[in-house]
Amino acid sequence: MSRNLKNVLVVSFGFLSLFTAYGGLQSLQSSLNSAEGMGVASLSVIYASIILSSMFLPPIMIKNLGCKWTIVVSMACYVAYSFGNLYPGWGTLIPTSFILGLGGSPLWSAKCTYLTISGNQQAEKDNSKGQDVINLYFGIFFLIFQSSAVWGNLMSSLIFGQDTNIADIPEENLVYCGAGICTQNISGGEAPRPEQKLVHILVGCYIGVGILAMILVAVFLDNIDRDSAREFRGNREPFCSTFLATFKHLRDRRQLLLIPLTMYSGFEQAFLSGDYTKYYVTCALGIHIVGYAMICFGATNSICSFVFGRLAKYTGRVVLFAFASVLNFSCIIALLYWRPHPDQLPVFFVFPALWGMADAVWQTQTNALYGVLFPQQKEAAFANYRMWESVGFMIAFAYSNFICLNTKLYVLIAVLILSMVLYAWLEWEEHKNPTPGVEFSHADKKEDLNSPTTVVKAETKL
C-alpha cells in the first residue's frame, strides 16, 4: 500500500467515526428536539456559523497548523456539539452549534486540500492523470465516509427501539404526513420523545466515537504539508490578505457559476435529514424508524460514491451530474404526490436509497471538480465550497418551520434547474479553455514525491 493511500484511509476512517456521531444527531434533531423548533434552529445556527468561519478560518488554520492539525482541532468542535445534546436546551444546544460551525469549514477545507495534494503526488509517482487519481481518492473517501450514516443511524434505531413508550400512529394523524395539509407542515406537531435514559446512552456513544476520530487522525495521519505550514509561519501574510482570500476567489467566473450547484448540495441534504425524516418517517412510523430509513441513504451513498469515483474516469463527470439531476428531480415530483402510510413500509426506504445515489454524485463529483478547476487556490476554493454549501443548509433549515412542505419541494426543483443550467455553462467554458493540470519539473521527479518538500515545490509550480 502506498503512503498516500494509507493517509487517505486514515482521513476516511477518522471522518467515518466523527460523522457517525454528527450524522446521527443531525438526522434526529427535527424529531428529537422538535419543541419550539429548537432542533432545526440549532442546525441553522451550525451552518450560519460555518458560513462565518468560511470567510477567514480555513486559510488561516491550514497555513498555520497544516492540514493534519486543522482536522484534529476542528473535530474537537464537533465533539462539543455532542456534549450539548446531553442536556439539550437553548442555552446548551445553540452555543455548541456555533462552536461546531466554526470548526466545520476548516475541517472540510483541510480534508479536500489534503486529498488533492495526495492525489497529485500519487499521480506524478505513477505517471498518471492527476484528475483521475483525485477522483479515485475522493471516491474512496466517500465510500468509507458515507457509511457513517449506516452506523450512526443504526445506533439510534437500536437504542430508541428499546423505548417502552412506542405507540402506533393514530390513523387520523396520517393525513398530516407528507406534502399534505399545510398547517401541520408548518407547526410540525410534536412526536413523543424517547426516554431520557436512552437519549443519554445514545449521546454518550456518539461522544466516544467522536473522541476516537480525533485520536486516529492525531496518531496515524502524516503531516504532508508540515514544511509549507512552517514556511508560512516564518513569513506570515498580512491578516487582511488571508481574510480576503475566500472572497477574492469569487473573482473567478467559474466559482460564480458553481455557487448554485454547491448550494443545491446543502438544500438536498437538509431536506432529507430535516424534512423527510420528520414529515414522512417520524410522522407516519415513529422516531425509532428514522435510523433505519437513513441507513438506506447511507448504504447506497457509500457504495455509489466509490462506484462513481471509479466510473467518472470512463463516463466523465457530465454524464454523472445529468444522472443525479434526473434522479433527484424524479424523487421530488414523487414526494409531492405521495401520501405516506404505514402499510407502504418499503416505500419509506426506497426514497432515501435513491436520494443516496444522487447525493453520491453531488458529493464526489463536486468536490473533485473544485480540486480540478482550482489547483492553485485549493484552500480558498474549498472554503468557498463549504461556505456556499452551508448557505444552502442554513436557508433550508431556517425556513423549515415557516413554509409548507410542498413549497420546500418546489424550491428544490427551482435550485436544481438553475444549478444544471449554470453547470452546463461552466462545462462549455471548460471545454473551450481547459484548466491546466499539475506539472512537475524534471528535477522534482528525482525527489521523493511523498515528501512535504516536494509538495511545496509542486504547489508553487501550479
What's the whole-number mean pLDDT along residues 427-454?
53
Task: Looking at mean pLDDT, say which of 26-30, 159-163, 302-306, 376-380 comes out highest.
Answer: 302-306
- Kindly indicate the confidence band of residue 460, based on its pLDDT and cuts at 50, 70 and 90: very low
- Residues 135, 116: Cα–Cα separation, whole Å: 9
* pLDDT tens column, 145-196: 877 878 888 888 888 877 766 666 777 778 878 876 665 555 544 556 677 8
Mean pLDDT estimate for the chain: 81
On the question of pLDDT at 444 being above 50, the answer is no
Look at residue 207 in the predicted model and tell me its pLDDT.
Answer: 94
- Kindly indicate the confidence band of residue 429, based on its pLDDT and cuts at 50, 70 and 90: confident
Number of domains in the chain: 1
- Residues 98, 47: Cα–Cα separation, whole Å: 8
Q: Which domain holds residue 313?
A: 7-223+246-433
Would you say 53 and 101 are in contact if contact means Cβ atoms under 8 Å apart?
yes
Look at residue 154 in the predicted model and tell me its pLDDT.
Answer: 86
- Which residues are within 8 A (CB) of 236 and not within 5 positions of it... i.e. 6 or more apart? none
CA distances to 62, 213, 244, 379, 447 from 15, rounded to whole Å, are 17, 7, 28, 19, 31
CA distances to 23, 138, 357, 385 from 18, rounded to whole Å, are 8, 17, 22, 20
- Kindly indicate the confidence band of residue 430, based on its pLDDT and cuts at 50, 70 and 90: confident
451: in domain: no
Alpha helices for 85-195 (secondary structure H): 90-126, 130-145, 148-160, 182-187
* pLDDT tens column, 48-72: 898 888 777 877 888 888 889 999 9
On the question of pLDDT at 231 being above 60, the answer is no
- Residues 54, 385: Cα–Cα separation, whole Å: 9
Task: Looking at mean pLDDT, say which of 137-146, 291-300, 401-410, 417-426 comes out highest.
Answer: 417-426
- Residues 461, 441: Cα–Cα separation, whole Å: 8
Q: Element (H or E) spanning 53, and its range?
A: helix 38-54
pTM for this prediction: 0.73
Look at residue 287 in the predicted model and tell me its pLDDT.
Answer: 79
- Residues 458, 441: Cα–Cα separation, whole Å: 8
- Residues 385, 266: Cα–Cα separation, whole Å: 10
For residue 335, give the amino acid letter: L
438: in domain: no
* pLDDT tens column, 360-372: 999 888 988 888 8
Look at residue 134 in the predicted model and tell me its pLDDT.
Answer: 84
On the question of pLDDT at 393 being above 80, the answer is yes
418: in domain: yes
Q: How wide is the angle at C-alpha 255 spanned by C-alphas 249 and 258, nearest 5°?
A: 150
- Which residues are within 8 A (CB) of 366 and not within 5 positions of it... i.e. 6 or more apart? 258, 261, 262, 265, 385
Cα 306 to chain center, whole Å? 16
447: in domain: no
Give the number of other CB atoms < 10 A from CB of residue 349.
Answer: 17
Look at residue 232 in the predicted model and tell me its pLDDT.
Answer: 42
- Low-confidence winner among 107-111, 221-225, 335-339 (lowest mean pLDDT): 221-225
- Which triple of cell numbers denotes residue 401? 418551520
Above pLDDT 90, what percent of the chain?
Answer: 29
- Kindly indicate the confidence band of residue 237, based on its pLDDT and cuts at 50, 70 and 90: low
Look at residue 77 in the predicted model and tell me its pLDDT.
Answer: 95
CA dihedral 260, 261, 263, 268 (to 10 degrees): 130
- Which triple of cell numbers denotes residue 393? 443548509
Give the residue among 332, 327, 384, 329 at the shortest CA–CA distance from 360: 327
CATH of residue 428's domain is 1.20.1250.20
Is residue 36 classed exposed, middle or buried when 0-12, 13-18 and 19+ CB atoms within 10 A define those classes?
exposed
Above pLDDT 70, what percent of the chain?
Answer: 84
**Stronger pLDDT, 149 or 214, i.e. the higher one:** 214
Look at residue 238 in the predicted model and tell me its pLDDT.
Answer: 52
Quick one: residue 296, left, alpha or beta (phi over 0 = left, psi -120 to 50 = alpha)? alpha
Annotate 105-137 with DSSP letters as a single string: HHHHHHHHHHHHHHHHHHHHHHT--HHHHHHHH
- Kindly indicate the confidence band of residue 267, based on its pLDDT and cuts at 50, 70 and 90: very high
- Kindly indicate the confidence band of residue 299, based on its pLDDT and cuts at 50, 70 and 90: confident
